[in-house]
Amino acid sequence: MAIAGNDLIWANFFHLGYNTYSDRDDPDWFATTTNHELGHRPYLRFDTKMWEELTGRIARAGGNAIVLSIGDGVRYDSHPEIAVDGAWTPAELRAEIKRLKGLGIELIPKLNFSTGHDLWLGPYHRMISTPTYYQVCHDLIAELCQIFDGPRYFHLGYDEETQPHQATYEYVTIRQHDLWWRDFLFFVNEVETAGSRPWIWSDYIWDHLDDFLDRMPRSVVQSNWYYWNNFDLNIDRIQAERRGIPLCEPQPGFRRTRTTPFRAYLELERGGFDQVPTGSCDVADDNFPDTVRWCRDHISPKHLLGFMQTVWRPVLEDYRDRHELGLAKFAEGRAVWDEVAATPSGSVSTERSNAPARD
């Protein structure tokens, strides 16, 4: 039986606060990217007029949700000290939630608590896992849940907490082993206590496969992200073998620590997690429609909550071309689903998603 497209989350991901990537300017690194906004800035990088235009177009393209990375883009009543110049007030955020609801769009809050993406916390970025840190994080989650009047979901980020992702930083902090899990479960508890469902980026599973399957609460919504253009499992297997990643099926006494970003969708399905697969035009233009097409056939209906498209650029005119492409590919992905759902054979293959992947 086909899932109705309107019953799924059709989300786009945006930043309000953009201080999540580097605590200094590194010209050599920025010269290799197409996004020169990765350094920390003390002011809001967000074009409201462009935002209103984009959100209107998302609604017309069939989008029904936006995950907004808020960070230091709001002047919180509980901790105004972390806000950048030009940050929204809580009242302005409430007004935006209401405006988007009128467009049929559910605004979903996100605060990224990965140590690799928490520069928005200001001085508390250097107080990881201390009593002060826990109190501040509690305050911010509680305040946002109040502003959003009990959001259905709360995205915690929690991605890319590795040394390579902080290679350009002056100050590097990485939680690992049980500390990573203790802090993560603290955030899960904070969100659930506030009445929302936690949602995260799933890349921790790539290098901690069995540990993730054993310890990750099934209440947490998973957004694995795979942005490349290969959707052939056999090609992925060959590439993994070249990188020394074993992809054999689970065997007694053998624990697997690694999988690939692509195959992680199947690992999450095997583990019984609810998923919102995430694509992007950041690496391959057609990744989002390809993601919709592939996940439709490999993730069971009971675990497929929807899809999310990402651009990974600030909402600024300098990056309009990327936002235009992202919207076009989002609409294309939405159409891919609707075309299949409209045919008698349009259905999700639960047999393939529950069986071991065949290479």
The residue ranking higher by pLDDT, 278 or 344, is 278
12 half-sphere exposure, CB direction, 13 A CA radius: 31
Quote the tokens at residue 11.
Answer: 């989300």
pLDDT, tens digit, 9 for 90 and up, residues 164-213: 999 889 999 999 999 999 999 999 999 999 999 999 999 999 999 999 99
For 129, residues 6+ apart whose C-beta sits below 8 A from its C-beta are 175, 179, 183
pLDDT in tens, 212-225: 999 999 999 999 99
Please enumerate in sequence order all residues whose Cβ is within 8 A of that of 289, keeping only pairs 6 or more positions apart, or say none. 279, 329, 332, 333, 335, 336
**CB 69 within 8 Å of CB 110:** yes
> Average pLDDT, stretch 11-17?
98
For residue 347, the cross-strand partners are none
pLDDT for residue 144 is more than 60: yes
CB atoms within 10 A of CB 353: 20
**Domains in the chain: boundaries:** 5-354
Alpha helix (H) ranges present in 42-128?
A: 48-60, 90-102
The pLDDT tens digits for 87-141 are 999 999 999 999 999 999 999 999 999 999 999 999 999 999 999 999 999 999 9
**Of 347, 260, 312, residue with least CA distance to 34:** 312
Cβ count within 10 A of residue 118: 24
Single-letter amino acid, residue 31? A
| Amino acid found at 288 | F
Q: Which stretch of DSSP H or E encloses residue 265?
A: helix 264-270
Average of per-residue pLDDT values in the chain = 92
CATH match of 5-354 with 3.30.70.1560? no
The structure's pTM equals 0.93
Q: How far apart are CA 164 and CA 174, in angstroms?
A: 11
Structure tokens at 164: 């390579």
User: In Å, what is the CA distance from 182 to each residue of 140, 176, 178, 252?
Assistant: 19, 10, 6, 28
